[in-house]
């Protein structure tokens, strides 16, 4: 089988079409991913555990199936990775914590089972922050993932290994979890596309919770089209139909967008921490692309970011403390300091405070819904600029700096982060698109329309390897 | 003391560091409490947030 491009330069969508046409062998694609793992993994630490042998055996099986006329859908024969808080049968779920050292699940998480049934091949578990929270901590079992654009920089979190694995072409798609932006932020800092759907879209059975009322599963890939393919394989047929899917299972993302309105959330760009000039310029340029695509852009405002952050952090810390209180009491030494210090703060939150935060969440969401009644989509920041240096991260940064991702975990709207340029130091810049609840398809279509008119998202893939490692 | 009441043992140096971080959390708690501290909000909450009987 001969593909048009070398396998290590293909997007998931391109690879899927070539595999179906029998112009690319799943074995050839898997071997290309394994070669990239050998080349890059020692520099970027994306994997918590690798399952190369079973992945390669799966690729051989997929090749046989496809040659025999059995094609399971667009993910058949596609190498993927799974964040290490989501169960894969027979592979340890360590969650980057010594608390979980001996835990080997006996069955797949519901999300993983769906991907594997669709023919995806898991290359392993992707590294995270401890229990998907806190910051990189040198005392944890695995070293932190590093940004492939420059390995001295932060890869984002907590689905850091997922973003890095895709950015390096070691996997073509990854499954992550997102409680306060944990899919969208690493995707943003690594120049990838990251999609967090509404919580109810993807079954979370077999996934370690952080804050159950905020947790959602999401996907990271090299493009919005790739994200859509990964997402569609995770959801029920009703959601697939709502997004738009053709008879072969490919997403239908081309649609008439003329007249649809995008509200730019102006105050999120100006509230502390303010967005830097490079990122503002990149988003301003993106606005023109959306207008060119047919969208109408207006400016809107939402309640201040600080209010979203207050309600979200109180809820997150209270729920996380409730989950971990027993281990904090009985074996606190097995936690890293970054995670346990953060979660210990939850002890200071009273039941009344938690209820107040839940009420505030409801009020904020009502305000957001009123704004979304006037717009089809929102455009907001996801990061204030490029990835910071790993050494410049502060342990309490998550409290000091409001997250641009958390508001849409509180409101449960689908949200997508995507690359919209590069900053002065050559690292990616990104923006965030948010849709109405239940309108996952409109978010994906807007992101796809943008990426059809730009090539920011393809730079890493086209270069063949991360620039900092050349 | 909060941690001790819950049976969580943390050495004193670490407790002092946590107290520093608590100031950030206190600001958030203040914001969350203030947001619901008007008479109107209280009455609304006492009625369970419902304007009309179910």
- Provide the ipTM: 0.87
SS (H, E, C) A5-64: CCHHHCCHHHHHHHHHCCCCCHHHHHHHHHHHHHHHHHHHCCEEEECHHHHHHHHHHHHH
Question: Are the Cβ atoms of B8 and A347 closer than 8 angstroms?
Answer: yes
Chain A residues contacting B, CB < 8 Å? 306-307, 309-311, 313-314, 317, 325, 328-329, 332, 341, 344-345, 347-349, 353, 356-357, 359-360, 362-363, 396, 399-400
CATH superfamily of A7-469: Amidase signature (AS) domain (3.90.1300.10)
Q: Where are the domains of chain A?
A: 7-469
CA A248, CA A118: separation in Å to the nearest integer? 12
Residue among A98, A43, A46, A129 at smallest CA distance from A395: A129
Chain A CB contacts of B2 below 8 Å = 347-348
Q: How many CA atoms lie within 13 A of A99 on its CB side?
A: 22
Q: Which residue has the tokens 């503002």?
A: A280
Within 10 angstroms of residue A142's Cβ, the number of other Cβ atoms is: 15
pTM over 0.90: yes
Question: Are the Cβ atoms of A310 and B2 closer than 8 angstroms?
Answer: no
Catalytic residue among A3, A32, A83, A177: A83
Q: What integer pLDDT is reported at residue A461 of this predicted model?
A: 54
Q: Is B36 helix (H, G, I), strand (E, B) or coil?
A: coil
Chain A CB contacts of B14 below 8 Å = 341
Which residue stretches of chain A have pLDDT < 50? Answer: 1-4, 462-463, 469-470
Cα torsion A190, A193, A198, A203: sign: negative
Q: How many CA atoms lie within 13 A of A340 on its CB side?
A: 24
Catalytic residue among A3, A32, A160, A182: A182
Residue among A416, A195, A408, A443 at smallest CA distance from A303: A408
pLDDT exceeds cutoff 70 at B37: no
CA A72, CA A115: separation in Å to the nearest integer? 11
A-B Cβ pairs (cutoff 8 Å, strict): 72
Q: What integer pLDDT is reported at residue A446 of this predicted model?
A: 98
Q: Nearest chain B residue to A394 by CA: give it.
A: B21
pLDDT exceeds cutoff 50 at B54: no
Q: Contact, A227 vs A234, CB < 8 A?
A: no
Contacts of A381 (CB under 8 A, 6+ apart): A268, A269, A275, A279, A283, A404, A431, A432
Chain A CB contacts of B9 below 8 Å = 332
Q: Which residue has the tokens 């070539």?
A: A18
Q: Contact, A111 vs A175, CB < 8 A?
A: yes
Question: Are the Cβ atoms of A328 and B8 closer than 8 angstroms?
Answer: yes
How close is the nearest chain B Cα to the Cα of A163, in Å?
29
CA A402, CA A273: separation in Å to the nearest integer? 7
Token pair for residue A37? 């793992």
pLDDT exceeds cutoff 90 at B50: no
Residue A83: active-site member: yes
How close is the nearest chain B Cα to the Cα of A336, in Å?
13
Q: Does B40 touch chain A (CB under 8 A)?
A: no
Residue among A288, A143, A332 at smallest CA distance from B3: A332
Q: What integer pLDDT is reported at residue B13 of this predicted model?
A: 84
């Amino acid at each position: 089988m001969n593909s048009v491009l070398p396998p290590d330069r293909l997007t998931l969508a391109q690879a899927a079409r070539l595999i179906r046409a029998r112009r690319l062998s799943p074995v050839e694609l898997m071997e290309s991913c394994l070669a990239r793992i050998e080349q890059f993994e020692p520099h970027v630490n994306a994997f918590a555990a690798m399952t190369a042998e079973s992945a390669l055996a799966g690729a051989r099986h997929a090749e046989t199936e496809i040659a025999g006329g059995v094609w399971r859908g667009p993910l058949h024969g596609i190498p993927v990775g799974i964040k290490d808080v989501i169960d894969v049968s027979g592979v340890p779920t360590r969650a980057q914590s010594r608390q979980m050292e001996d835990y080997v699940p006996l069955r797949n998480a519901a999300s993983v089972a769906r991907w594997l049934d669709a023919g995806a091949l898991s290359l392993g578990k992707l590294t995270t922050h401890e229990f998907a929270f806190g910051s990189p901590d040198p005392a944890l079992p695995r070293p932190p993932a590093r940004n492939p654009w420059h390995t001295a920089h932060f890869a984002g979190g907590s689905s850091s290994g997922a973003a890095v694995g895709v950015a390096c072409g070691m996997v073509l798609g990854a499954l992550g979890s997102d409680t306060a932006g944990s899919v969208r932020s690493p995707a943003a800092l690594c120049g990838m596309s990251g999609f967090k759907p509404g919580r109810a879209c993807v079954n979370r059975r077999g996934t370690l919770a952080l804050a159950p009322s905020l947790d959602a599963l999401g996907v990271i890939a090299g493009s919005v089209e790739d994200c859509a393919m990964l997402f569609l394989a995770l959801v029920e047929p009703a959601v697939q139909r709502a997004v738009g899917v053709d008879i072969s299972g490919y997403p239908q993302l081309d649609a008439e967008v003329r007249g649809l309105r995008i509200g730019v959330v102006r105050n999120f760009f100006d509230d502390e921490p303010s967005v830097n000039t490079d990122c503002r310029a990149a988003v301003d340029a993106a606005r023109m692309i959306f207008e060119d695509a047919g969208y109408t852009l207006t400016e809107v405002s939402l309640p201040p970011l600080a209010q979203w952050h207050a309600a979200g952090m109180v809820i997150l810390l209270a729920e996380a403390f409730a989950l971990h209180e027993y281990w904090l009491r009985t074996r606190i030494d097995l936690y890293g300091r970054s995670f346990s210090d953060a979660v210990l703060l939850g002890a200071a939150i009273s039941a009344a405070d938690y209820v107040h935060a839940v009420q505030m969440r409801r009020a904020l969401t009502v305000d957001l819904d009123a704004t979304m009644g006037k717009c089809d989509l929102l455009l907001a920041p996801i990061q204030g600029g490029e990835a910071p240096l790993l050494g410049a991260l502060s342990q309490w940064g998550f409290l000091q700096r409001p997250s641009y991702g958390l508001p849409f975990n509180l409101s449960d709207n689908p949200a997508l982060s995507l690359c919209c340029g590069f900053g002065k130091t050559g690292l990616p810049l990104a923006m965030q698109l948010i849709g109405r609840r239940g309108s996952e398809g409109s978010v994906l279509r807007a992101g796809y329309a943008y990426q059809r008119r730009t090539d920011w998202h393809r730079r890493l893939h086209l270069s063949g390897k991360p620039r900092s490692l050349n | 003391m909060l941690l001790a009441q819950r049976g969580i043992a943390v050495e004193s140096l670490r407790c002092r560091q946590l107290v520093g971080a608590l100031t950030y959390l206190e600001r958030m708690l203040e914001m969350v409490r203030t947001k619901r501290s008007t008479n109107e909000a209280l009455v609304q909450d006492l009625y369970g947030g419902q304007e009309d009987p179910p």
